[in-house]
Amino acid sequence: MSQTTDRLWGARFKSGPSEALASLSRCPERYFRLTPYDLAGSRAHAGELQRAGLLSEEETRTMLDALDRIGADFSAGRIAPTLDDEDVHTFIERLLTERLGALGGKLRAGRSRNDQTANDLRLFLRDHVRTLAAEVLALQQALVSQAEQHVESICPGFTHLQQAQPIVFAHHLLAHAQAMLRDVQRLMDWDARTSLSPLGAAAMAGSAIARQPEHSAREMGYSGVCENSIDAVASRDHVAEFLFIASMLGINISRLAEEFCLWSSRQFRWVTLDDAYATGSSIMPQKKNPDIAELARGKAGRLIGNLTGLLSTLKSLPLSYNRDLSEDKNGVLDSVDTLLLVLPAMAGMVATLQVNVDELRRQAPLGFTLATEVADWLAMRGVPFKQAHEITGALVQACEKHDIELWEASPTLLAEIDPRLTPEVRESLTLEAAIAARSGRGGTAPQRVREQIARLKTALVAQQAWTEDYQGFRL
């Protein structure tokens, strides 16, 4: 005699699972966040069963109504999974059978937890990448807004954390915005590859019942169906790719955060953080700490860890489905939550900070940052750059010896170093001249920076449109 069980897999077993197995097998509580996405897949699958003749039109309407009510009850907190609900699929089937009796059990036909779980995470990610992109855009827009105010604000640029050449502060801010522009582009590219439905793959060989999965794919907002049923349930490269993008975004945020830790220090004094986006010390009353930047910097390690963890899980897994793959959701949920905490805080910090323009300009020429202007000036007059480099180095040494700046070198000192160093070179040794000389596309000349801002703002408008133009399932 067959046994009735609330589990989806226990029909051939004579006894139930041990307590240890049940505890290990039950999904973590946070995985039940996927309930709305599992309901979306269930609605689409009900249509498949009607097309296959397993549900009548009236039964389909009843099923869809029950799924809608479960969704509303779950969102309102009127229902919640119990300890006996192994996962979100078990949870929903239990509710369906409680509310519809035998009809509720019909929905399982033609599908498997394998294609369900793959579909749930795809829907969750496709929904949330747009939310994440919108938050990245808010940070980019804060950077652009600050940049627009500082197209003429000259500051030192750095290599090796040593002062290198003068730039405008806007150019430095926009470098961070450009990196994040690519992060959103990666999300857009990822979405194009991930817009294929795994429903219909069933356990791994495809479904003998749900034979028109392209219909359910359209209902869920996919552009098509996975080409291979084994690949549909066994692959998690789209999850790993998302976690890579999240990690790269975390790294880009961390690099920006590190700059603000430096810039807000007494040693730099470049920026002043708004009180609402800084903290104090429990013992040192004078402190104003860049905690948002430090916390964001720390979270990058967490994001990298989530990627590394999944890659380690995927390594050497044979095809097709293995239970190891249930680990895919852990890193995804954590990475999404982490970024949704970090991004608004960073955007607020950037939007409200004050830039100390006078201090930027004071520091801009320090450390002989105009030395390259001398070498370029000589090269433009036919001096081979190897010689120009050596002549300029000698000039720097002489200025250090006499404790003067480059533009303070007398005609006599210039001639002693090299007769080709005529007094006219000093016309190039101003911050404005150095900035204006970098006038190629992508350079720091103010006009080029204004053009960069205009192009970037156009790109951000297009990305904003993408975040709003999602036809799939959304919470």
User: What are the tens digits of pLDDT across the range 285-339?
Assistant: 999 999 999 999 999 999 999 999 999 999 999 999 999 999 999 999 999 999 9
Q: If we measure between CA atoms, which residue out of 417, 260, 289, 286 comes closest to residue 347?
A: 260
Q: How confident is the model at residue 3 (pLDDT cuts 50, 70, 90)?
A: very low
Catalytic residue among 2, 15, 160, 282: 160
Taking only the tens place, the pLDDT of each residue in 60-105 is 999 999 999 999 999 999 999 999 999 999 999 999 999 999 999 9
**CA-to-CA separations, 332 to 227, 243, 414, in angstroms, rounded:** 24, 7, 62
Residue 432 sits at φ, ψ, to 5 deg, of -65, -40
Handedness of CA 80, 83, 88, 90 (dihedral sign): negative
Distance CA 26, CA 96 (A): 20
Query: Does the pTM of the predicted model rise above 0.85?
Result: yes
Distance CA 103, CA 98 (A): 10
Distance CA 162, CA 435 (A): 18
Catalytic residue among 265, 281, 312, 410: 281
Residue 165 in this model has a pLDDT that exceeds 60:
yes
Q: How many DSSP H helices and E strands does the chain contain?
A: 17, 6
In this structure, which CATH number among 3.40.30.10, 2.40.30.10, 3.30.360.10, 1.10.40.30 belongs to the domain 371-429? Answer: 1.10.40.30
Homologous superfamily of domain range 19-109: Fumarase/aspartase (N-terminal domain) (1.10.275.10)
The CA R_g of the chain, rounded to the nearest whole Å, is 30
Q: If we measure between CA atoms, which residue out of 44, 353, 328, 377 comes closest to residue 212?
A: 44
Known active-site residue 264: no
Q: If we measure between CA atoms, which residue out of 432, 427, 453 comes closest to residue 364?
A: 432
Q: If we measure between CA atoms, which residue out of 243, 211, 247 comes closest to residue 229?
A: 211
Distance CA 185, CA 247 (A): 15
Distance CA 360, CA 151 (A): 13
Token pair in block for residue 18: 């041990």
Other residues' Cβ atoms within 10 Å of the Cβ of residue 9: 12
Residue 251 in this model has a pLDDT that exceeds 90:
yes
For the chain, percent of residues with pLDDT exceeding 90: 92
Known active-site residue 281: yes
Domain locations in the chain as residue ranges: 19-109, 114-363+452-468, 371-429
Homologous superfamily of domain range 114-363+452-468: Fumarase/aspartase (Central domain) (1.20.200.10)
